[in-house]
């Protein structure tokens, strides 16, 4: 399915599936969609999340303690797609769970579930030949990360391997909320645009209304992750879906303001 980037910026929300449990994750996802999220990144918990900061690390640990696996996330995606045909659904994972599940098997199940694609955080374009072949044969998007430290030649390769959109990492380091977005983000988006016409989404550190509005000035998408996961972590029992929806509506208000400007 084509990913929808009609709004500016398109709001992309990351959630760690299985935190605090899969039933609640489904409720959170549905609440986020109802609040206006256009694309959901369904995070697969992993025991060694090297790109993630403390908030998402804790969420992954809680989900793993619940026994959450990639197969469970795919089942969740299938149910979300059954209820919402237009929302973008992306599997966000590290490579190891994908290899254990099997690349061919993953692509088959993802296609049957009507997922849009996947983002494997630690898969480099240099090692992605089989993955690209398998995913493209099923019509699934392959989304790669572009970092401020990437050379132009590497950005060219990332652009050639990517479909759906390109995820521009706003800064070096791990995920987590920050008070300000670095200028690296704007400069990186400018560099990536030399090599692609795909939408570009900026992530790592976006958590406020002001930051979403700032991203709208130069990128098609804004990814919010740690702020949502922290909202879930701090919510009392049964309150997480409502609190996440409130945060999404607040951020979408920033998007509308940016569009009017």
What percent of the chain stands above pLDDT 90?
Answer: 80
DSSP for the chain, please give it.
Answer: ------STTEEEEEEETTSS-HHHHHHHHHHHHHHT-SEEEEEPP-S--TT--HHHHHHHHHHHHTT--HHHHHHHHHHHHHH-SSSEEEEEE-HHHHHHH-HHHHHHHHHHTT--EEEETT--GGG-HHHHHHHHHTT-EEE-EE-TT--HHHHHHHHHH--S-EEEESSSS-----SS--HHHHHHHHHHTTT--S-EEEESS--SHHHHHHHTTT-SEEEE-HHHHHHHHHSPTTTHHHHHHHHHHHHHHHHHHHHH-
User: pLDDT tens for residues 148-186?
Assistant: 999 999 999 999 999 999 999 975 544 444 455 657 889
Number of domains in the chain: 1
Is 88 a domain residue? yes
Is 158 a domain residue? no
CATH number assigned to the domain comprising residue 236: 3.20.20.70
Please give the Cα distance from 173 to 149 (Å, whole number). Answer: 11
Is 54 a domain residue? yes
Q: Token match 């009392």: residue?
A: 236
Q: How far is CA 50 from CA 45, 54, 94, 97, in A?
A: 12, 10, 9, 14
Whole-model pTM?
Answer: 0.91
Q: Token match 């400007």: residue?
A: 261
Q: What is the pLDDT at residue 255?
A: 53
The structure tokens listed for 126 are 């240099």
Is 1 a domain residue? no
> What residues act catalytically?
41, 52
Is 198 a domain residue? no
The burial class, CB within 10 Å (0-12 / 13-18 / 19+), for 51 is middle
Please give the Cα distance from 214 to 28 (Å, whole number). Answer: 26
User: pLDDT tens for residues 119-142?
Assistant: 999 999 999 999 999 999 999 999
Is 245 a domain residue? yes
The structure tokens listed for 70 are 């990639």
The structure tokens listed for 37 are 């999220």
* Beta pairing partners, 92: 43, 119
Q: What is the pLDDT at residue 184?
A: 80
User: pLDDT tens for residues 59-71?
Assistant: 999 999 999 999 9
Is 147 a domain residue? no
β-bridge pairing 141-143 and 166-169: unpaired
Is 197 a domain residue? no
Instruction: Render each residue's pLDDT in the chain as its tens digit; 261 residues.
Output: 458 888 889 999 999 999 999 999 999 999 999 999 999 999 999 998 776 778 999 999 999 999 999 999 999 999 999 999 999 999 999 999 999 999 999 999 999 999 999 999 999 999 999 999 999 999 999 999 999 999 999 999 999 999 999 999 975 544 444 455 657 889 999 999 999 999 999 998 788 888 999 999 999 999 999 999 999 999 998 999 999 999 999 998 855 555 544
**Domain residue limits at 116:** 10-142+215-260
The structure tokens listed for 114 are 């009507």
């Amino acid at each position: 399915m084509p990913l929808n980037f009609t709004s500016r910026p398109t709001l992309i929300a990351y959630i760690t599936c299985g935190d605090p449990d899969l039933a609640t994750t489904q409720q959170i996802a549905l609440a986020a969609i109802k609040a206006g999220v256009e694309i959901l990144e369904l995070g697969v918990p992993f025991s060694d999340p090297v790109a993630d900061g403390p908030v998402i690390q804790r969420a992954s640990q809680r989900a793993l303690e619940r026994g959450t696996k990639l197969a469970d996330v795919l089942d969740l995606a299938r149910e979300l797609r059954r209820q919402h045909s237009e929302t973008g659904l992306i599997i966000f994972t590290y490579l190891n769970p994908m290899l254990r599940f099997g690349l061919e098997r993953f692509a088959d199940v993802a296609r049957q579930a009507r997922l849009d694609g996947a983002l494997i955080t630690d898969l480099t374009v240099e090692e992605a030949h089989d993955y690209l072949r398998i995913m493209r044969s099923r019509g699934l998007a392959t989304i790669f990360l572009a970092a401020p430290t990437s050379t132009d030649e590497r950005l060219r390769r990332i652009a050639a391997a990517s479909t759906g959109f390109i995820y521009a990492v706003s800064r070096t380091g791990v995920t987590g909320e920050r008070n300000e977005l670095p200028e690296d983000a704007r400069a990186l988006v400018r560099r990536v645009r030399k090599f692609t016409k795909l939408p570009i989404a900026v992530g790592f550190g976006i958590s406020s209304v002001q930051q979403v509005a700032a991203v709208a000035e130069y990128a098609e998408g804004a990814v919010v992750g740690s702020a949502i996961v922290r909202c879930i972590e701090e919510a009392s029992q049964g309150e997480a879906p409502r609190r996440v929806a409130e945060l999404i509506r607040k951020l979408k208000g920033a998007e509308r303001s940016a569009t009017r400007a």
